[in-house]
Amino acid sequence: MNSRELNDRAAWLRGPSAECSVVPERLEQPWRLVLLGPPGVGKGTQARLLTQRLGACHLSTGDVFREAKTRNERQQTLAMSAALNSMRRGTLVPEAIVWQVIRERASCLRCQGGFVLDGFPRTLAQAKVLKLLLENERLSLDAVVNYELPLAEIVSRLSGRRTCQSCKAIFHLTAQPPRTEGVCDLCCDALYQREDDRPEAITVRLNAYQSSTAPLIQFCRNLGLLTPVVASGSPEEIFRRTATALEKRRKFDSGSSVTSRKSARVWSPEMLACGGNESGNGNNI
C-alpha cells in the first residue's frame, strides 16, 4: 500500500472557512466512491484504507457531527445542536441539516484527489441531492460499495468498538484490542466508546438504517453503481475484497498523479462539456 500523508480534512470537518493541512495530490483520474452498509460494518476503517491507497479524501458526515461536538456549546449553531441531539439518540439527523452540511462542503466533492463518501447518502432523498450536486459539477461516481454483514455480527462489532478521541483510529475490545487497555496504539491518547455505540442506541440505529437505506440501495443498483462486498473477516481481507470488486470497474490504483506525469491529460470542466466523461461510466448518482 502506498504510504501517503493523510489529509487532516479540515475543510470537510470544520467547513469551507478552514483549510486542509495537506492538499491531496492532483490526480488524472481521481476515484469518487460512496460507501454504504449498516453501522458497525467497518466503513470507517475501509474508508481510511481506501483513501490511503487512492489518495482520495475521507468525507464522513458522522465525523462532521462528532467534530462539532468537541466545540463548546456557545459555538454551536441551533442546527448543529439539533443534529447532535439526533446523533445521541441514534436517530438520523434531519434532512435539511444534512443537506446544509453537504452544500457548505461541496468544494470537497471537487477535491483534486477524489473522495470516499462515508455515511452520506443515507436516504433516497440524500442520494438525489448528491446526484444533483455531482451533475452540477459535471462529476461522476465510480462506484457505490455496499458492505454486507449478518445482524448478530454487526451488534457485536458495535458494542466492542472503541475510538481514539484524537486521531479517530478504531479498535475493538476483542477483535482488535489496543496494546494497552483504553490507550490508542498510534497516538497514545485515550480511547472512548461512542455514545451511539451503546446498546440502547444500537437497535435504534440499525432500524433506522434498515428502513431508510433499502430504497437507496435499489436506486444505486438501478444506476449500475452498486458494488456489493462481504464485510466479514479482518479489515485487510475486506479491503482485498473491495479492491477486487473495484478492479472490475476500473484499474485499482491511485488514478495517476498529474504532477508525476507531465504529459498526462489534465481534467477541466471544458473537456467534459465537449462530451468527455471523466470516470468513463457516465453514471452520476
Task: Name which of 57 and 92 has its Cβ closer to ligand AMP.
Answer: 92
Minimal distance in Å, beta carbon 227 to ligand AMP?
19
Please state at what angle helix 78-89 crosses helix 61-69, rounded to 10 degrees: 110
Q: Which residues are catalytic?
A: 43, 122, 161, 194, 205
Determine, following the binding rule CB under 6 A, whether residue 196 of this chain makes contact with ligand AMP. Answer: yes
Q: Which stretch binds ligand AMP (CB under 6 A): 119-127, 138-146, 244-252, 269-277?
A: 119-127
According to CB under 6 A, which one of 31, 115, 120, 267 is a site residue for ligand AMP? 120
Minimal distance in Å, beta carbon 151 to ligand AMP?
16
Cα separation, 161 vs 7, in Å, equals: 24
Determine, following the binding rule CB under 6 A, whether residue 108 of this chain makes contact with ligand AMP. Answer: no
Determine, following the binding rule CB under 6 A, whether residue 86 of this chain makes contact with ligand AMP. Answer: yes
Q: Which of 24, 187, 184, 3 is nearest to 116 (CA)?
A: 24
Determine, following the binding rule CB under 6 A, whether residue 92 of this chain makes contact with ligand AMP. Answer: yes
* DSSP letter string, 6-47: PP--HHHHH-TTS--SSPPPPBSS-EEEEEE--TTSSHHHHH
The residue with its CB nearest to ligand AMP is 62
Cell numbers 479491503 correspond to 239
Q: Which stretch binds ligand AMP (CB under 6 A): 7-15, 60-68, 158-166, 181-189?
A: 60-68
Cα separation, 59 vs 49, in Å, equals: 13
Q: How would you classify the pairing of strands 57-60 and 226-230? A: unpaired
Task: Name which of 65 and 267 has its Cβ closer to ligand AMP.
Answer: 65
Task: Name which of 39 and 114 has its Cβ closer to ligand AMP.
Answer: 39
According to CB under 6 A, which one of 24, 37, 62, 178 is a site residue for ligand AMP? 62
Minimal distance in Å, beta carbon 112 to ligand AMP?
24
Q: Which of 62, 21, 55, 59 is nearest to 39 (CA)?
A: 62
Determine, following the binding rule CB under 6 A, whether residue 98 of this chain makes contact with ligand AMP. Answer: yes
Cα separation, 160 vs 156, in Å, equals: 6
Vertex 205 angle, CA 199 and 209, to 5°: 150
Cell numbers 483504553 correspond to 182
Minimal distance in Å, beta carbon 89 to ligand AMP?
8
According to CB under 6 A, which one of 24, 30, 38, 39 is a site residue for ligand AMP? 39
